[in-house]
Amino acid sequence: MTQGQPQEALTQEIVQLQEMAREWARLFPQAASQGEHWLKVLDEVRAHVSEETCRLAVVGAVKSGKSTAINSLLGQDLLKRGAGILTAMVTRIQPGLEPRAVLKFKEWPEINGEINRALGLLPVPRLRERSTPLDLQQAADRELLFQVLAEAQQEDIWSAGSLDPNYLLLKSYLEGYDRIQEHLQASNVLSLSGPELVRHREMVTREATAVYLKDVLLTIPFPWAAAGLEFGDCQGSDSPFPQHLAQVLAYLVKCDLALYVISSRVGLRQADFQFLGELKRMGLAPHVLSILNLDLGEHASLDEVQGIRERLTRELAPWQPEPRVYAFSALKLLLDRRRSRGEALDQREAGLLSVWALDTAAARFSDQEAARFQEDLQGAVQRLQGRRLAGGSLSQVQMVARGLREQLELTRSLLGQDLEALQRVESHLQARRRPLESTLASLDQTLDGAGIHLKKVLKDRVNSVMDRRYGKVGSALTGFIRDYEPNWDRLLLPETPASFRPALYQLFQECVKELTHYVTAEANVSLVEFIRDQEDWLRGELARVETPLLLSLQDALTLYYREIEALGFPSTPPALEMAANPRPPGLEVPLLNLQLDPGWWLDAEVWVRSGAGFLERHWEALKRRLGLGAEVEPRRQLLRDLGRALKVVKAWLQEQVKVQLIDYEERLKFQYFLPLVDQWLKQQETALANTMRSLLTDLEGVAGSMHLEEEERTARRRRLEELLPQVNNIETLLEEMRQR
């Protein structure tokens, strides 16, 4: 990738303007307040620009080559390929001065919550004797969990044996406790650098430690200019853990681009199309670049490789018009870059490159596609960053540059006149400032009133969409629970013992798993659509409210500039515009995350109310002995009991969802939409006020220079003449940035 990142370019111009503003304050200390305002605006913009992050989510199925693709772009083996199945976090990679890894661990309530949910209705007598949830921090509870796992495995309760997700989760938490406890007892954050950096790869890929992690941030020097860029190495979209998809979705909500990695050996599957559909509903389809990760050793010829790419393009076309597909070997690109850096490859890696080099056509095709991808990726990132800056930060800097240039021009001219002339100019300009100040005051009042109305409308809309009877999200969620029917054939396999409690555990866990998946893949995607629609509506309403005020300000500003022109100083008023309304970086979109903690009492209630209690069992047995009832086939009896148990579980889930929907509804209103209204209104008000203050000339302070000796006045005027070409050049560069 090449140089020329928009953020770096804008920062360079800000630094030059800051030096000029400081020099203005030194030349005219009585007018230093104007320079201080410019510096304040520039400092705020510079801080905002440094915090702006363009996020690229790297997604795809398990083993598609996501980590290898990121490594190839960075030119080093930073991410270990093939992370553990329990890696329930997105690994984020940002440019930095030195390699560093910051690992954030889960809090104890989250850890214990996951453990107790995985144990929900597990048919182990030791658990039924407890009245409180397990706490992994307690040695006695860790010993109990060890015994529970042993008994459950011995009784063959886990449906998939040692690969059962719940078993893996519990086993990993138990095994990793001794390795992790010191970090959890400290600050929950571990920072690694230097020789210690390699530890992050082991902690992320080893299931016993990865299960404790919540966030991983890697910072390294990038091999190209990458200010404000972040790669997110996401979990597989087809992961068996619903919480993995939930984490990927939460990251995608904040992303600007998605890189979809597809293995050439596997191609697109049904799970891919479902995930791509979710990306489209979230509004990300136009911002997806697809990487067909070639396994060069698996394909007979270049024609076969090109045929795979063409087929993939056709398959993506109904979902993404004119799909952008790039077919190259991420591993080849990585190995080539490591070798070009002088790094020694091991025998197997060198052998792979030698074998691939034999098919010169395919190798050349892969290299060309990789170069095309990197060029297009850089262009997409720069356009995104440029549009984001142009809507807010860039406009503010342009107004400072213009205000500084106009102040320099006017002051240079007035330094050649007497004090009376300067005071006459200032008097005329002061009269024209009053309408502007009055309009700004009415802007404040109007926006406050609009904010009250907008908040009320948004509250009503959130209430409507979350309503459990009629709301798009609320009613669909309760309807899913009401209509849920498990796959009984899969749940009760012929080899499964016809025992109620093990089957009930599998039923409950399957029900929770399906509900969690529905919440992630359907309810939350619908919520993202709803939130995006409300943001668009809010932008439109703000424009409707602000347009008349903006016109009033524009008229008052035009009169001010006409006054300057009438005084003999040619000038043209700038065109005012409303600031863009991007989602504030510190405001996270809340997603629905069900916390289904069954508690130990649910097991007993299900047991009794399902008809599996001892009284009904004894009564059935008595009827059979007396010849009053036919023999009931064990599996039919189990199916009947589980059907009754499912009704109890559904009733419990409905109550849980009811409470959590109410909680989410309040969070969506009071932690997102209402602060969003406040921040956007404040942003508009501040942007216009800063613009006015940046442009309105202050000549009172300049009057002090009229008392200086002629020689000193001439020197200052000469310095202003030297500064003017510099600020003119900055204005030209800023306008070029806007036009890109």
Q: Averaged over 215-223, what is the pLDDT?
A: 92
Averaged pLDDT of the chain: 87
Q: Count other Cβ atoms within 10 Å, centred on residue 510.
A: 16
**Residue 261 bridge partners (DSSP):** 60, 291
pLDDT digits (tens, 9 = 90+) for 84-103: 554 557 899 999 989 999 99
Q: State how far the Cα of 131 lies from the Cα of 461, in Å rounded to an integer.
A: 41
Q: Which fold has domain 52-106+188-358?
A: Rossmann fold (3.40.50)
Confidence of residue 625 (pLDDT cuts 50, 70, 90): low
With beta carbons less than 8 A apart as the criterion, state whether 210 and 203 touch: yes
With beta carbons less than 8 A apart as the criterion, state whether 687 and 395 touch: yes
Of 290, 337, 304, 264, nearest in space to 64 by CA: 264
Token pair, residue 430, equals 């002061």
Confidence of residue 160 (pLDDT cuts 50, 70, 90): low
Q: State how far the Cα of 281 lies from the Cα of 530, in Å rounded to an integer.
A: 10
Q: Averaged over 350-370, what is the pLDDT?
A: 93
| Helix-helix angle 474-483:634-668, to 10 degrees | 170
Q: State how far the Cα of 121 lies from the Cα of 652, in Å rounded to an integer.
A: 13
Alpha helices in 232-390 (DSSP H): 242-252, 270-281, 302-316, 330-340, 347-358, 360-390
Token pair, residue 454, equals 């907008």
pTM over 0.75, yes/no:
yes
Q: Count other Cβ atoms within 10 Å, centred on residue 320.
A: 20
Model pLDDT, residue 3: 43
pLDDT digits (tens, 9 = 90+) for 561-619: 888 888 888 788 888 887 778 888 788 999 999 888 786 667 767 766 666 555 565 66
Q: State how far the Cα of 9 lies from the Cα of 733, in Å rounded to an integer.
A: 9
Q: Averaged over 636-647, what is the pLDDT?
A: 85
Q: b/e for 525-551, b at 16 or more Cβ within 10 A?
A: bbbbebbbebbeebeebbeebbeebbe
Model pLDDT, residue 612: 55
pLDDT digits (tens, 9 = 90+) for 691-713: 888 888 777 667 766 677 788 88
* Lowest-pLDDT choice from 207-221, 362-376, 436-450, 451-465: 436-450
**509: Cα within 13 Å, side-chain hemisphere:** 26
For the chain, the structural domain boundaries read 52-106+188-358, 107-187, 454-570+590-682
pLDDT digits (tens, 9 = 90+) for 317-333: 988 888 999 999 999 99
Q: State how far the Cα of 242 lies from the Cα of 244, in Å rounded to an integer.
A: 5
- In SS3 terms, 354-405 reads as HHHHHCHHHHHHHHHHHHHHHHHHHHHHHHHHHHHHHCCHHHHHHHHHHHHH
Terminal-residue alpha carbon distance, the chain: 18
Token pair, residue 526, equals 């619908």
**Residue 193 bridge partners (DSSP):** 100
pLDDT digits (tens, 9 = 90+) for 476-496: 999 999 999 998 887 776 655
